[in-house]
Amino acid sequence: MKNYGLKYGCNPHQKPAEIRATVGELPLKVLNGNPGYINFLDALNSWQLVKDLKAALNVPAATSFKHISPAGAAIGLPLSDELKKSYFVDDIGLELSPIASAYARARGADRMSSFGDWAALSDTVDKATAMILKKEVSDGIIAPGYTTEALEILKQKKGGKYNIIEIERDYEPGEMDVKCVYGIEFVQKRNNIIPGFDDLKNIVTENKDLPDEAKRDMIIAMLTLKYTQSNSVCFVSDGQVIGNGAGQQSRIHCTRLAGDKADIWHLKKHPKILGLKFKQGVGRPERDNAIDLLVRYDTTEHELDMLNDLFEVVPDRLSPSEKEAWLKGLDNVTLGSDAFFPFRDNIDRAYRSGVKYIVQPGGSIRDDSVIRACDEYGMLMAITGLRLFHH
């Protein structure tokens, strides 16, 4: 198959539309559904991320994409009982495989943003992963393979219309990327660099104690940024993204957005939140929305009143002092930035969300100020010289 016709392009009025192979055949098969233009953009970007993660860390990887950026990404580390409950995977009825754990973590990073996501997995999709997806609102999935059981489960989603793409595991495109904007072609070498541990050797802070877990999380952050719309800043903990600040014009706005998401991720593990009693029949999206409103700082009383019908027992909100105390447990977080920090305010905000390790390209005229800020907080910072803009 050299081309695949689409119902329309980015918007319904943009017709005709299709995807085309530049050389030979398309390296993918549509096993179910009828993916659209944005679905394919999500699929092909997300596949590159999990493929790179697997290549860099040699562990199964997954991501949850929305509108051409990852809401979350993770590798297949085991989940604690606390995380299973927070991620709504404690009722799957199966032991979670590494690839299933990777997707649970990727989606659990920011469940609000993952509503209607595109899932990408580095390895063959198994029954446990399919059972997680069966219970979630998702637009589609891309992977190099599917077990028979997994494929049958996924084909039943969305009334049989769930989008399922199988991609050739070893496919590599040509060296050059071509993009057309307003009738003009932009040609550049494809960004095929995969950041590795050798990129983390230039540690510029007084603290030079970089444990293996932090190195791993730095790689996850850098690769997530590589496929996130710029500007972007990414917070990572324990092998998974916990906050991704994507597509902001100001670097500090990226850091604030990612930090706020990381705070919310951690607050959702508070015993009061894990112990919420929802009424029978309340769906996962409604639960996600309710939990998000309960832990946020900017929720109005009117919004809270509208939640009362969802609970068997109307919960008390976490008080400011309870939130502050709980957030002190968010520590040893890794932060990655796709470009340099122009001011130290990013470091000040990062510290509030438990950041201890930072990886960034460097190159600002204020690098010295940023380094001093890291030293004040006892942080470690590695400067890579590797910018990771994505547009």
Q: Are residues 208 and 100 in the same domain?
A: no
Q: Is residue 55, in this structure, part of any structural domain at all?
A: yes
The parts of the chain modelled with pLDDT lower than 70 are none
Q: Are residues 237 and 281 in the same domain?
A: no
Q: Is residue 71, in this structure, part of any structural domain at all?
A: yes
Q: Please give the Cα distance from 255 to 264 (Å, whole number).
A: 14
| Burial track 126-142 (b if 16+ CB lie within 10 A, e otherwise) | bbbbbbbbbebebbbbb
Q: Please give the Cα distance from 265 to 292 (Å, whole number).
A: 9
Q: Are residues 237 and 111 in the same domain?
A: no
Instruction: Look at residue 305 in the predicted model and tell me its pLDDT.
Output: 86
Q: Is residue 322, in this structure, part of any structural domain at all?
A: no
Q: Are residues 261 and 298 in the same domain?
A: no
For position 55, which CATH number holds?
A: 3.40.140.20
Q: Are residues 25 and 70 in the same domain?
A: yes
Containing structural domain, residue 159: 3-167
Q: Are residues 376 and 336 in the same domain?
A: yes
Catalytic annotation, residues: 66-67, 231, 391
Q: Is residue 282, in this structure, part of any structural domain at all?
A: yes
For Cα atoms 314, 317, 318, give the angle at the middle one, nearest 5 degrees.
145
Instruction: Look at residue 229 in the predicted model and tell me its pLDDT.
Output: 96
Instruction: Look at residue 304 in the predicted model and tell me its pLDDT.
Output: 86
Q: Is residue 390, in this structure, part of any structural domain at all?
A: no
Q: How far is CA 188 from CA 40, 51, 183, 192, 326, in A?
A: 21, 21, 16, 11, 47
Instruction: Look at residue 48 in the predicted model and tell me its pLDDT.
Output: 98
Q: What is the pTM of this model?
A: 0.96
Q: Are residues 239 and 301 in the same domain?
A: no
pLDDT tens digit string along 203-242? 999 999 999 999 999 999 999 999 999 999 999 999 999 9
Q: Are residues 27 and 160 in the same domain?
A: yes
Count of the separate structural domains present in the chain: 3
Cis peptide bond N-terminal to 16, omega within 30: yes
Q: Are residues 149 and 113 in the same domain?
A: yes
Q: Are residues 251 and 287 in the same domain?
A: no
Instruction: Look at residue 317 in the predicted model and tell me its pLDDT.
Output: 87
Q: Are residues 222 and 295 in the same domain?
A: no
